[in-house]
Amino acid sequence: MPHAKTDSEVTSLAPSSPPRSPPRGRPVYYVQSPSRDSHDGEKTATSVHSTPALSPMASPLHSSSSSRFSGHPKRKADKAPGRKGAPPGKGWQEIGIIEEEGLLDDEEHTRIVPKRCYYLLVFVLAFVALFSFFALVLWGASRSQKPQIVIKSITFENFIIQAGTDASLVPTDMATTNSTVKFTYKNKGTFFGIHVTADPFELSYSQLTLATGDLKKFYQARSSHRTVSVAVTGNKVPLYGGGPTLTAAPGAGGKAASGTVAPVPMVLRTTLHSRAYVLGALVKPRFTRGIECKVLMNPAKLNKPISLEKACHYS
């Protein structure tokens, strides 16, 4: 009867079994332990273990988390600020990725905004250029339509030279003049009105101003004209020996008191300023006309208009 072998004999007689290989289909992974720094100055030890995935930790969930952890460019240990012995340059992959994404966003932003600004700038410049060209055309057209001014006549109501004294009680001859100047003003502009002003009208003999008058400013509508009257007067103007020598002066009625009165040559001067508002306050052409007329005052023709149409010079 054969002898039954005991368990110890079976164990001793059985050939040694080969090492058990890991099951197929399960990934082999490597775990790298994070570096740990000792407070007593010991060297950092890094251990790498190659272990077959036989434990329950080798589940698909653990494997995927391990792969995600191992593929991450920055470990948890690198996130802790202020740790001693942390090697420089850790986490540069993540920082580089973030900076690259930021640069892409900045490039996209700078590529869109200047393009809009460029279109806006082009529109503004085009508008300014067209508007300037239009204003220049209007200005040129208005400059060719200058107003027409003609001095028609001057009428002396009286002209009296009599003895008297000036403000400092110096004896001298005194001249009193009352006259009216008429002129026509025509606005030839077909699309703008004109505001008209003038320097004082001056009636002088030699270097002495005997009478002055102011023009009341007015507005002249487009394609219209008017006749303007200006009173030019002087009251007891001292002559200081420079006035004309008269044997007699007519009175208020225009009749000579005695003797004859010699004609007195005079000069009438003024300057007219015209401003047209073609395009509001942006296009405002100005017209300046200087006028100088030679006047011969004849005491025998008081209260009668003296024609000046051919006696004036315009500049």
Answer positive or negative: Cα dihedral of 117, 123, 129, 135.
negative
- Smallest CA-to-CA distance from 53 within 79, 27, 77, 73 is with 27
The pTM of the full predicted model, rounded to 2 decimals, is: 0.57
- Considering the domain boundaries, does residue 14 fall inside one? no
The answer on 216 and 119 residing in a single domain is no
The pLDDT of residue 248 is: 41
271: how many CB neighbours lie within 10 A of its CB?
Answer: 15
92: how many CB neighbours lie within 10 A of its CB?
Answer: 11
Tokens of 163: 């003895």
- Considering the domain boundaries, does residue 117 fall inside one? yes
Do 230 and 166 form a contact (C-beta atoms < 8 A)?
no
The pLDDT of residue 75 is: 47
Q: Mark which of 74, 109, 144 sits at the end of a domain.
A: 144
The pLDDT of residue 312 is: 96
Question: Rounded CA gap, 258 and 221, in Å?
Answer: 51
Tokens of 7: 């368990």
Alpha helix (H) ranges present in the chain? 7-13, 60-71, 76-79, 92-143
Domain count, the chain: 2
Taking CA 18 as the corner, what is the angle to CA 12 and CA 24, rounded to the nearest 5 degrees? 145
Helix (H, G, I), strand (E, B) or coil at 285: coil
> If you search the block for the tokens 């593929």, which residue do you land on?
71
Question: Which residues of the chain, if any, have pLDDT below 70?
Answer: 1-113, 242-261
- Considering the domain boundaries, does residue 182 fall inside one? yes
- Considering the domain boundaries, does residue 111 fall inside one? yes
Burial of residue 209, with CB atoms counted within 10 A of its CB: 0-12 exposed, 13-18 middle, 19 or more buried: middle
Q: Calculate the dihedral angle through the C-alpha atoms of 8, 12, 15, 20, rounding to the nearest 10 degrees.
A: 60
The answer on 274 and 232 residing in a single domain is yes
Region of 275 on the Ramachandran plot (φ > 0 left; ψ -120 to 50 alpha; else beta): beta
The answer on 236 and 124 residing in a single domain is no
The pLDDT of residue 151 is: 97
H, E, C per residue of 184-246: EEEECCCCCCEEEEECCEEEEECCEEEEEECCCCEEECCCEEEEEEEEEEEEEEECCCCCCCC
User: Structural domain of residue 136, as residue ranges?
Assistant: 96-144
- Considering the domain boundaries, does residue 17 fall inside one? no
Question: Rounded CA gap, 187 and 221, in Å?
Answer: 7
Question: Rounded CA gap, 233 and 296, in Å?
Answer: 16
- Considering the domain boundaries, does residue 29 fall inside one? no
The pLDDT of residue 137 is: 84
Task: Tell me which DSSP letter residue 55 carries.
Answer: S
Do 279 and 138 form a contact (C-beta atoms < 8 A)?
yes
The answer on 154 and 131 residing in a single domain is no
Side chain identity at residue 155, one-letter code? T
- Considering the domain boundaries, does residue 241 fall inside one? yes
The answer on 140 and 154 residing in a single domain is no
The answer on 218 and 124 residing in a single domain is no
> What's the length of the chain?
315
